[in-house]
Amino acid sequence: GKVGGVFNIRSVTKIKELQEYAVKNTRLHIPLLFGMDVIHGYKTISPIPIAEAASWDLEAIQKSAQMAALESSAAGINWTFAPMVDISRDARWGRVMEGAGEDPFLGSKIATAKVKGFQGENLSSNFTIAACAKHFAAYGFSEGGRDYNTVDVGTSTLYNMVFPPFKAANDAGVKTFMNSFNELNGIPATGNEYLQREVLKEEWNFDGFVVSDWDSISEMIAHGYTKNESDAAEIALNAGSDMDMESYLYLDHLKNLVDEGKVDLALIDDAVKRILKVKFELGLFDNPFVDEQEVIKVCGTGEAMKL
């Protein structure tokens, strides 16, 4: 019962088995989130995002995300780590292929189309999944195009280039945000209260949850920003990072940090409520189990191939 989400399982049988265990055999009976990088298709593959963006065809882009949601939800996946809405001007950054390019206007339109495609009109439908706007923020401006690197941009660039696609995703109702590996003006995004609390949750009224990027909480130590694992967990939670992906530092340290008065229990309550809210909206408390026959009917159909 200490696990809230499981990532990268591509087995309907295994997903059903894990969900049944979580719902029936853990203390609180809370269903799991199953997440995966469903970036440009699950079974039926669409062009990579930068190629889709080059079409300027927003309707086709939305349908592409809709098809990916249909197939992955049938397979038991209920959360995708997409769309990546980072604007980047440096082709050396290897992840340019995962975004919409260098223009914030087009990037904003595509962010909206992708969120609507993945999440549909009713998130509790069997054929929709929660989307995740990533990486908040400025990951695409890493110096030298190097992953995890320093980002140093002015307010004008931040508000006019970096933020617009994220704001568009939020306005479209995206349920989750992922913070980024990079530091922004000296502060790692995972521990950046300005980004996660002041801008996202207060200024933009985002009511979903923020997930860390893979192990990005512990990587604040490598940035030289935190002293140790406990310090990293404290800074990340206080800054507004609600879910810890992969570092295990919340599991290992948050209880002690609350006992020591370094983390307010109200902030943990807020993080938990945000995550539970998305699970409720996905319909997982009413219908947590995947139909193992559905994936056969839905994935790789002629209709999907035509699209």
Task: Report CA 118 to chain centroid distance, whole Å.
Answer: 12
Q: Residues near 51 by Cβ (< 8 Å), separated by ≥ 6?
A: none
In order, the DSSP letters of 46-115 are PPPHHHHHHHT-HHHHHHHHHHHHHHHHHTT--EE---B------TTSGGGGGS--S-HHHHHHHHHHHH
User: CA–CA separation, 206 vs 177, rounded Å?
Assistant: 9
β-strands 183-184, 176-179 pairing: unpaired
- Active site (annotated) includes residue 213: yes
Crossing angle of helices 104-119 and 58-74, in 10° steps, is 40
User: CA–CA separation, 90 vs 231, rounded Å?
Assistant: 33
Q: Which of 103, 171, 213, 291 is catalytic?
A: 213
The residue to which tokens 């994220």 are assigned: 166
User: CA–CA separation, 136 vs 65, rounded Å?
Assistant: 21
Q: Which of 1, 2, 125, 113 is nearest to 57 (CA)?
A: 113
SS3 176: strand
Q: Which of 72, 51, 70, 65 is nearest to 111 (CA)?
A: 65
- Mind telling me the catalytic residues? 213
